[in-house]
Structure 1
Amino acid sequence: MALVPRRTAASPSASSSARRGARAGVAITVFAAASLVLSACTVGSYDGDRADGGGDFADDGCTSVVVATSSEKVNMLDALAKAFKESPQHDALAECATVHPINVSSGDATRFLTSGGDWPDEDRRKPTLWSPASTVWTERVAAAASPALVGEPVSFTHTPVVFGMPETMAKALGWPDRPIGITDLERLCTDPAGWGSVGKPIWGSFKISKTNPNTSTTGLSAILMQSYEASGKTDGLTADDVAAAEEFSRAFEECVIHYGDTTGKVLNTLYDDTQHGAGGSGYVSAVALEETSLLNYNLGNPDSHTVQPGETLTPPQEKLVAVYPSGGSMWSDNPVTVLGADWVTEARHTAGEAFIDFLATDAAQRILPEYGFRPLDESVPLGKLFTEEYGVDPGLPAVTLPRPGVDVVSAAIDQWTQIRKPSSVLEVIDISGSMDDGIGDGRSKLDGAIEGAQTTLEHFRSTDEVGMWAFTTGAKAEDGMNLLSLRDVSPLGSERERLASSVADLRYAERYGTPLYDAIAAAYDEMVDRAEPGRINAIVVLSDGQDTDSKLSIDSLIARIGKSSGEGGGDAPVRIFPIAYGDGADTAVLQRIAEATGGQWFDASDATKIDLVFASVINNF
């Protein structure tokens, strides 16, 4: 089924359109309170297979209404879906309906909807509803594809974009008594003394974590907030303003440690760092994130995963506090809409409209604060989460920055593509014998790895440094036994096609054992020797199995890579980003390797999703 505006199902009825206009005034006094658990499903940037972090939804005989949503809202929407079942809006339906939330990042959903192809999942999990984090994404789909495809989006909750800082660091900048602006952060970024400029030289350089604006609402909001700050405006941002802000934004990007596909992965690394007594200064100084994600972190749920029955959350040793920039914050307005795709049947369309109507009721709005989201209805009490104890101020932000037009958003993303921090990345691919195994979609594991690696090349600029190695026992190259060098790390230039062709040749390479630790050690030595300040220096490792042939032990490898590549270990740290490929990969070891370097590991246990996982990994650079 193609992603085209639906013509076979009926358009929204006049009565449903009238209800949509009256939603803001609807108030039902029934209250179905959710338990105080801030959680969501975060399994990579696309998790269409799972709505609860590990389970699946079965046919219960009711009309199935799948809602594709950004990760931080999955568990909240699950609670809202349960309350919907008891609502007058549900009772008015001719037949019962069940709402199933699935996690799809806002940027990925936008890409799927504008590509003109099919939604990458089986039919029963194709979404009826879409709820990205911001209307920015629905507007981009309307402009790039068709307004009919995204229907009539309506916001049902909101959360401001802030900078989360370890409390001790925020206090060093005068928080909470002194307003802190993005310009203050930019000065810390560009000052060679870093934290020393405010009397804290032991903390080193000022480090920011941001997400990729092509896939993340917070990443997109952050670059727009930078342009607002540079222009001195709080309204009416133009494409010319974005252009004039280029040097300011470029300086700001220089202190980014690496770009992530989700804030959850960054917060996980920070949380692990603090729990081992490192505080937080070693990894990152400030994280651009939504207020709701900060609340999750302070409750002990840094990646906003679905909290299982009996699970105990442990708050971090040092909480993050929300710095609401003095120049203003953008808000994630969390719209929801019925898609005009051809798989949305009349029954699903009607049920989806009913659920949207329910979200505006008092019963639904009272559930939102329990999950760290602010209700649109200001008469609804925020509750105990929105307090200084959890690092937030319900009276802020004092200034709201409006969402600019589609042309301005596009100009900001295009600018970021040119000014983002440069990368130096070495991709290391396992080509052992098990890579010949099929993955169930007509491809072998090696086919999937090759295609994923080739796709990543489109992400890099010609000035970015890119290298590609492969490893298996018996291979011989200048870089060492068991290694094949397809390309040394150097500026990519105009060699995308040549490198893509070299990667394709791996199909014909001899394949034996898996010297994983030795290959990582060699790659690490190579990158440390050439790492430079001012670049994101990284290694991407893909492996589908356990180490079988290394001379080096895992403990020796960890000691080697962990000694100097943490963020506090120098001006040019080398981080490792492993991909656990297929159900035979040694996930525990790969996770340990990532954590030792301040990197992140990625789960491609469903090998058919390797293309999407590769896309998530490359969003860090």
Structure 2
Amino acid sequence: MDASGFELTSHRQRRFGSGRRRRWPLLLAALLVVAVGAVALVLRGPSAAHRPGAAQACTGTPVTVTVATAQSDVTTFSALARRWNTTTPAADGRCLAASVVPAEPADVAAQLGPAWNPAHEGGPPTVWLPDSSLWLAAAAIRPDAAPILSGQPTSVAASPVVLAVRQPVAQALGWPQRPLDAQQMLASFVDPAKVGQSGPPMKLGMVDPQKSTVGLAMALAMLDPAGTGTVTDQQLLAGIQFSQVLGTVAPDVQTFLTAMDRPAAATDVAAFPALERDIAGYDAGSPANQLVPAYQPNPVVADFPYTILSGSWVDAAHRGAAEQFRQYLLSPTAQDFLATQGLRGPDRAARTAQYLPAAQGFQPTVPAPRPPATPAGLRQVLDQWTSIQRPSNVLVALDTSGSMNFPVPGGTQSKLQLLQQTATDGFALLTNVTSIAMWDFSVAPDRTDEHRELVPFGPIFDRVGPVTRQKALYGAVAGLHADGFTPLYDTAYAAFHEMQNRWQPNATNVVLLVTDGANELDGGLDLAGLVDRLHHEQHADRPVQIVSVAVGSEADANALQQISAATGGHTLLARDPTKAVQQLVLAFAGRLA
């Protein structure tokens, strides 16, 4: 308990005072203060008892303000509620009280509405106090929740979202001689050479944006860095590239902090997103693996919005009580206590440097935060994050018939050379949740099979012999040579069945068919027969799509469109194959209709 009567929950667990020798002087001083206060009350009259936070006479069952906040914040705000309750707050002679209950922001955002079911969700809160206004925007996506959030929320504390960087990595990047920059850190993950890094590629830990403020902030930084509320195609492609360096995706920050305490696990990830106060609390325990905060120029700031709900269950008495508790949380006494928890004031300033020490990389001030996310913008980012993280099962079938030796119209490369370049670029854009195989197809005197497996099916970063599957794909593409005729329809049908056999739930199951010409095989399937079989043999509960890329002006785009349409897929008609690969990635992400 601190000198103000708080049961301290500080991560530092500091004790105030210096032992038994000082107890008698403190007691005498306290008695003197009480005596002087009593005299002052007599002289001033009863009005002093009605000041905010002053003890007042009250009767009856208290009007209790129920404050819903994240489990990680319950201890902090419960301590404040208990302290406020001891002041006997009152309104119109009736006692007031505050009670803090755990409710994860993502759960409240999903449940909040006029039809709140106490049997399943507990009693509805008077106040919602998530750690970030992002969750208010997430809840407001639902029309039934938006009216309940019509009040004006008030920030009662702040903590910026930062990258928690392992100290050895921070030192390798020049800290503490110069401050860590989060954008530089992110660049070092995507392209280590740009920042002079060598050695094994670093991995970035990620926290689930569907459940966590810091994960949501990282998804915004990846997919909507300017805070415009929209995700462009180029930003989505950059986000896909960035997702390749992700290591563990954890449900919460504590998962990473616990891993940091285990010596062998400290190298799993080099950095992960966290609230500044999480790092301060962790470092205060003097762990073996210290963390250093890296700040964004315009960060997402957890602003702890105190939101008095406009639900039918919040009457005037409870609203008035909630307003009094809000005033108390903004009082110097409460703000001093929140500072001991590593939190900043609503103005983003550190109230005391003791709990955010500059020597450990904490900044005294935080730049202006990025623009607030709108419900629509947040929905788009969450949808695109989900699409990026959705596993993809892909069978790539490349046309290596003789026509691929012809030059690209208007260019100097052959179609095969351009296909090789395009495929290599495309493989570099595949996420780390991709499983893939590669075939080539043509019929020639030296290759009687219509198609051949060049790289067997499996996860993109698993090994195929001495190299990863991704490097095996690069090698196989580099070794392609073109000759013979195009067995387009038979290959499309065989690839479709191959992917039906390899179908996986909760994944995009796709055949990528890349060709520059029409079907040239006599005696095989014709177009009508192929389309009919695809229609009848598609399983609605296990769908496989064929996505066709028409390379060059000779490609039979009409036939490819019919083949793809029979499976619910797409045909990419871009004559520039480089753009075609980008379109393919966008198709996987649900961007192409």
Give the TM interval when normalised to the shorter protein: 0.5 to 0.7
* Residues 256 and 421 in structure 1, CA contact (< 8 A), matched pair in contact too: no
The corresponding residue for 2:336 is 366
Distance in 1 separating the partners of 2:388 and 2:212:
17
Cα distance change on mapping 1:183 and 1:376 into 2, 3 Å: closer
In 1, Cα distance between equivalents of 2:306 and 2:372: 17
Residue 397 in 1 paired to residue 382 in 2?
Answer: no
Indicate how the Cα distance of structure 1 residues 121 and 349 shifts in structure 2: closer, same or farther if over 3 A, else same: farther
Indicate if the aligned counterparts of 1:134 and 1:332 stay in contact, CA closer than 8 A: yes
Partner residue in 1 for 2:8: 35
* CA distance in 2 between partners of 1:331 and 1:154 (Å): 14
Question: Aligned AA for 2:291?
Answer: L
Question: Per the alignment, do residues 489 and 172 of structure 1 end up closer, same or farther by CA in structure 2, a change over 3 Å counting?
Answer: farther
Instruction: Report 1:30-69 matches (<5 A).
Output: 35=8, 37-38=10-11, 62-69=62-69
Partner residue, 1:547: none
Partners of 2:83 and 2:197 in 1: CA distance: 50
In structure 2, what is the Cα distance between the partners aligned to 1:184 and 1:372?
25
Which residue in 2 is equivalent to 1:110?
109
C-alpha distance after superposition, 1:242-268 (max 9, x if no partner): 544112222222222232221112221
Q: Percent identity?
A: 23
* TM-score, normalised by the number of residues in structure 2: 0.53
Q: 1:412 to 1:72 in 2, by over 3 A?
A: same
Q: Which amino acid aligns with 1:111?
A: A
Provide the C-alpha distance between the structure 1 equivalents of 2:266 and 2:348, rounded to a whole number of angstroms. Answer: 35
Q: Helix, strand or coil: the match of 1:245?
A: helix
1:489/1:171 CA distance change after superposition, 3 Å: farther
Letter of the 2:288 counterpart: Q
The verdict on how the C-alpha distance between 1:353 and 1:324 changes in structure 2, with shifts beyond 3 A counting, is same
* CA shift for structure 1 position 368: 1.0
Aligned counterpart, 1:385: 355
Superposed displacement of residue 103, structure 1: 2.3
Specify the alignment match of 1:76 in structure 2. Answer: 76
Matched, 1:263 2:253: yes
Superposition deviation, residue 352 in structure 1: 2.0
| 1:61 CA displacement | 5.2
Q: CA deviation at 1:188?
A: 3.1
Is 1:247 aligned with 2:237? yes
- Identify the residue that residue 450 of structure 2 maps to in structure 1: none
By how many angstroms is 1:402 displaced?
Answer: 2.7
Is structure 2 residue 352 aligned with structure 1 residue 352? no
Which residue does 1:549 correspond to in 2? none
Listed one character per residue, the Cα deviations across residues 310-333 of structure 1 (whole Å, up to 9, x for unaligned) are xxxxx32121111113x3311011
1:216 paired residue number? 212
Distance 2:127 2:363 in 1: 30
Shift of 1:143: 4.3
Q: Cα 1:299–1:279, aligned 2, differ >3 Å: closer, same or farther? A: farther
Q: Give me the whole-angstrom Cα distance separating, in 2, the residues matched to 1:352 and 1:185.
A: 42
Distance 2:153 2:221 in 1: 23
Are 1:322 and 2:293 matched, yes or no? yes
In structure 2, do the counterparts of structure 1 residues 76 and 180 end up closer, same or farther at CA, with 3 Å as the change threshold? same
Report the aligned-residue RMSD: 3.7
CA 1:403 to 1:106, structure 2 compared with 1: closer, same or farther past 3 Å?
same
Residues 452-475 of structure 1: CA deviation (Å, up to 9, x unaligned)? xxxxxxxxxx9899xxxxxxxxxx
Contact 1:369 1:383 in 2 (8 A): no
How far apart are the structure 1 equivalents of 2:390 and 2:181?
A: 22
Aligned to 2:266: 280
Letter in 2 for 1:118: N
Alpha-carbon contact 1:223-1:416 (below 8 Å) kept: yes
Paired letter, 1:38:
H
Q: Which amino acid aligns with 1:156?
A: V
1:490-529 alignment, distance < 5 Å: 490=504, 492=506
SS at match of 2:355: coil
Deviations, residues 364-400 of structure 1 (Å, cap 9, x unaligned): 22211011110126788324111045x3423243453
* Cα pair distance change 1:379/1:464, threshold 3 Å: closer
Q: Could you give the per-residue CA deviations for residues 60-105 of structure 1, whole angstroms, max 9, x where no partner exists?
A: 95333321112332111012102212458x2446333332222222
Cα gap change, 1:96 to 1:244, in 2 (>3 Å): farther
**Is the Cα–Cα contact under 8 Å of residues 140 and 375 in structure 2 kept in the other structure?**
no
Aligned to 1:157: 157
Deviations 1:550-591 (A, max 9, x none): xxxxxxxxxxxxxxxxxxxxxxxxxxxxxxxxxxxxxxxxxx
Aligned counterpart, 1:601? none
- Taking a change above 3 Å as real, the CA distance of residues 192 and 161 of structure 1, as seen in their structure-2 partners, is closer
**Alpha-carbon contact 2:390-2:508 (below 8 Å) kept:** no
SS at match of 2:94: coil
Q: Which amino acid aligns with 1:152?
A: Q
* Whole-Å separation in 1 of the counterparts to 2:343 and 2:205: 22
Question: Matches of 1:351 and 1:369 in 2, distance apart?
Answer: 24
Report the AA paired with residue 270 of structure 1. M
User: Alpha carbons of 1:279 and 1:379: their partners in 2 closer, same or farther (altered >3 Å)?
Assistant: closer
Going from structure 1 to structure 2, the CA distance change for 1:418 and 1:206 (only over 3 Å counts) comes to same
Q: Is the Cα contact below 8 Å between 2:12 and 2:281 reproduced in 1?
A: yes
Tell me how far apart the structure 2 counterparts of residues 209 and 423 of structure 1 sit (CA, whole Å). Answer: 21
Q: What is the CA deviation profile of residues 314-360 of structure 1, one whole-angstrom value per residue up to 9, with x for unaligned ones? A: x32121111113x3311011101222334445543332222122222
Which string of whole-angstrom CA distances, capped at 9 and with x for unpartnered residues, describes residues 403-430 of structure 1?
2333222222122111237489xxxxxx
Retained in 2: the 8 A contact 1:156–1:334?
yes
Name the amino acid aligned to 1:288.
P
Match of 2:277 among 288, 292, 297: 292
- Is contact 1:189-1:254 (8 Å) kept? no
Q: Separation in 1 of the partners of 2:11 and 2:96?
A: 25
| Counterpart code for 2:215 | G
2:47 corresponding residue in structure 1? none
- Offset of 1:491 from its aligned partner? 5.0
- Secondary structure (helix, strand or coil) at the match of 2:266 reads coil
**Are the equivalent residues in 1 in contact too, given 2:7–2:79 (CA < 8 A)?**
yes
Shift of 1:163: 0.3
Aligned counterparts of 1:356 and 1:396: Cα–Cα separation in 2? 24
2:380 counterpart letter in structure 1 = A
Number of corresponding residues: 360
Contact 1:107–1:216 (CA under 8 A) maintained in structure 2:
yes
Residues 163, 68 of structure 1: alpha-carbon distance in 2 compared, 3 angstrom cutoff: same
Matches within 5 A, 1:605-616: none
Distance 1:269 1:194 in 2: 29
Please identify, of 174-183 and 253-262, the stretch whose mean Cα deviation from structure 2 is larger: 174-183
Q: 1:12-59, CA deviations, whole angstroms, 9 ceiling, x for partnerless residues?
A: xxxxxxxxxxxxxxxxxx96666362399xxxxxxxxxxxxxxxxxxx
Counterpart CA distance in 2 for 1:336 and 1:417 is 29
Call closer, same or farther: CA 1:163–1:114 in 2, change over 3 Å.
farther
**Contact 1:65/1:99 (CA < 8 Å) preserved in 2?**
yes
> Is contact 1:243-1:415 (8 Å) kept?
no
User: Is this contact kept in 2: 1:189–1:251, CA < 8 A?
Assistant: no
Distance 1:378 1:94, change over 3 A: farther
Distance across 2 between alignment mates of 1:39 and 1:347: 38
Is the CA contact (8 Å cut-off) linking 1:387 and 1:393 kept in structure 2?
Answer: yes
Offset at residue 183 of structure 1 (A): 4.3
Query: Could you tell me how far apart the structure 2 residues matched to 1:339 and 1:62 are?
Result: 19
Evaluate the alpha carbon distance shift between residue 397 and residue 423 of structure 1 in structure 2; reply closer, same or farther with a 3 A threshold: farther
User: Which one scores higher on RCO, CA 8 angstroms, separation ≥ 6?
Assistant: 1
Contact 1:69 1:131 (8 Å CA) reproduced: yes
Q: 1:137 aligns with which of 132, 135, 138?
A: 135
Match of 1:419 in 2: 388
Offset from partner CA, 1:497-549 (integer Å, 9 cap, x none): 969xxxxxxxxxxxxxxxxxxxxxxxxxxxxxxxxxxxxxxxxxxxxxxxxxx
Q: Is the 8 A contact 1:463 1:491 kept in 2?
A: no
Contact 1:212–1:261 under 8 Å retained in 2? yes
Aligned to 2:412: none
Query: Corresponding residue for 1:613?
Result: none
What is the deviation of 1:181?
A: 4.1
